[in-house]
Amino acid sequence: MDCSCSQDPGVVKIICANPSIQFYSYQAEIEEAVLRVLRSNRYINGPEVNALELEFASYIGTKHAIGVANGTDALEIALRALDLKPGDEVITVSHTAVATVSAIEAAGFVPVLVDVEPEFFTLNPAQLKEVLSSRTRAVIAVHLYGQAADLDEIGAFCKQHNLVLIEDCSQAHGAKWHGKRVGSIGHIGCFSCYPTKNLGAIGDAGLVTTSDDNLNHKIRSLREYGWQQRFISDIPGRNSRLDELQAAILRIKLRHLDNDNQKRRDLAALYTSLLGDVVRTPTNRPGAEHVFHLYVVITDCRQELMAHLKSHDIYAGIHYPVPVHLQPAYRGRVRIADSMQVSERLAQEVLSLPLYPELGSDLVNRVAETSKKFVA
C-alpha cells in the first residue's frame, strides 16, 4: 500500500505518512534555500552538497559523508567500493525493503538471507553462523522501522570472520546504539532520503557515511564515473550524483531532525499507552534509541482492522507484505537460512499505523479509539 497518498480537500483523512505537510512546517526556510540554488550557477555536486556532506558526517559522527542519488545506490556503491569478486556473498535479512537485496545483486554479488528476531524485527545474529560460507564477505544490518539491529552481536561476528559490516540506516536517521548514531558503528552506513523518511528530500536522495579514508575516496569516485579528475575514469563507475536542490532541502531538515524524531517518539509512546490491549505494540531494544520511522503493530486480523480503519478515513500500511525470498523475482534464486518463519509470519501480521512528526496527539487518539472499537 502506498502510504503517501494525498488527502482529499474537505475530507478529514489520516494517512500513513505525509511528507508534504513537513514542507509547510519549514516552508520559508526551504523556499529560501531552493531560491538560493536556482539563482546560483551550480546544480550538481556544488556547495550545497559539500556543506550537507560535512554537516551530516558531523551529525552521524563519522569522518566522511558522501551524497548519492538515492538509498539503493548508496548500498550498491558501498558494496562496489569493497572490491569483492563475482559470486561473493553478502548476508542480510528477508524482512526488509527489496532495495536492500536488489542493491546486492546490482553490485554483482549473491544475497544470502536470514530471518529476523521476533521481538525487534531486525537481523537474527544467531543465524549468521548457519549461512556463513567461504564466499561470505559482508553483512548488511538493516535498522528496520527506526530501531538499531543488535550491532554488538553482529559486529562481533563480522570481526571474528573478517567481514565488512554495512549498516542500512534508511529507516533510522538519528537512531542510536549505546549512545552512538547508527551509520557510525559499522564500516559503512547507507541512508535513503526518500520523501517519507525521517530525513526526507523532496525527491530522491541518499547518503553514505564512513570513517575509512580509502572507502571515502573510492565511493566518491564510483558515484561519478570512476573519475579522479574530470572526464578521466580510473575505475568503472556510474552516475549517482546528489543534486544541489535536494542537498539544500536536506540541510534545512537536518537542523530539525532531532526535534522531529522526538515528536515521533512522543506520538509512539502515546500509541503504545492506548493500544496495548488491542494489538501487539513495538518493543524497544535495550541500548537502542528508536526514532520510529514507522509505528508497526502486530495483529492476526490485519485485513479486517485495515478495512475498519479505512472506513473511518484512516489509512494504515504494510511494511512489508511479502518477504524478499518469497517474491517472484527472488524465489529460489537466493540462499536462505533453514528457518524463515518469523519473517513469513510477520508478513501476514505487521501493520503500520499513521505516524509523522506533524500528526499530533489528537489524531493519534482518533486512530487508537477507532482501533479499540474494532475489537470491542
The full set of domain ranges for the chain reads 19-23+256-375, 26-250
Calculate mean pLDDT across residues 79-88. 96
Q: What is the CATH number of domain 19-23+256-375?
A: 3.90.1150.10
Calculate mean pLDDT across residues 201-227. 98
Distance CA 182, CA 172 (A): 7
Cα 267–chain centre separation: 20
Distance CA 284, CA 264 (A): 14
List Cβ neighbours of 292 (8 Å cut-off, separation of 6 or more). 145, 146, 261, 264, 265, 267, 268, 282, 355
pLDDT tens digits along 256-267: 999 999 999 999
Closest by CA to 22, choosing from 192, 208, 254, 190, is 254
What pLDDT does 12 receive?
79
User: Is residue 89 pLDDT above 70, yes or no?
Assistant: yes
What pLDDT does 52 receive?
98
Where is 190: in which H helix or E strand? Answer: strand 188-192
pLDDT tens digits along 195-208: 999 999 999 999 99
What pLDDT does 170 receive?
98
Contact present, 251 and 243 (Cβ < 8 Å)? no
Distance CA 72, CA 99 (A): 6
Contact present, 183 and 60 (Cβ < 8 Å)? yes
Q: What angle do CA 299, 369, 357 make, to 5 degrees?
A: 85
Cα 345–chain centre separation: 21
pLDDT tens digits along 128-179: 999 999 999 999 999 999 999 999 999 999 999 999 999 999 999 999 999 9
What pLDDT does 375 receive?
81
User: Is residue 63 pLDDT above 90, yes or no?
Assistant: yes
Contact present, 228 and 106 (Cβ < 8 Å)? no
Least confident of 1-10, 74-83, 190-199, 315-324: 1-10
Closest by CA to 96, choosing from 324, 312, 278, 325, is 324
* Per-chain mean pLDDT for the chain: 96
Of the chain, the percentage scoring pLDDT greater than 90 comes to 95
- pLDDT classification of 3: cutoffs 50, 70, 90: very low
Distance CA 224, CA 333 (A): 31
Architecture of the domain whose range is 26-250? 3-Layer(aba) Sandwich (3.40)
Distance CA 253, CA 17 (A): 16
What pLDDT does 4 receive?
39
Task: For residue 121, count CB atoms less than 10 angstroms from its CB and return exposed for 0-12, middle for 13-18, buried for 19 or more.
Answer: buried
Its pTM stands at: 0.96
User: Is residue 64 pLDDT above 90, yes or no?
Assistant: yes
User: Is residue 11 pLDDT above 60, yes or no?
Assistant: no
Calculate mean pLDDT across residues 28-37. 98
Task: For residue 283, count CB atoms less than 10 angstroms from its CB and return exposed for 0-12, middle for 13-18, buried for 19 or more.
Answer: middle
Calculate mean pLDDT across residues 277-284. 96
User: Is residue 279 pLDDT above 90, yes or no?
Assistant: yes
What pLDDT does 5 receive?
39
Nearest 5°: phi and psi at 206? -155, 165
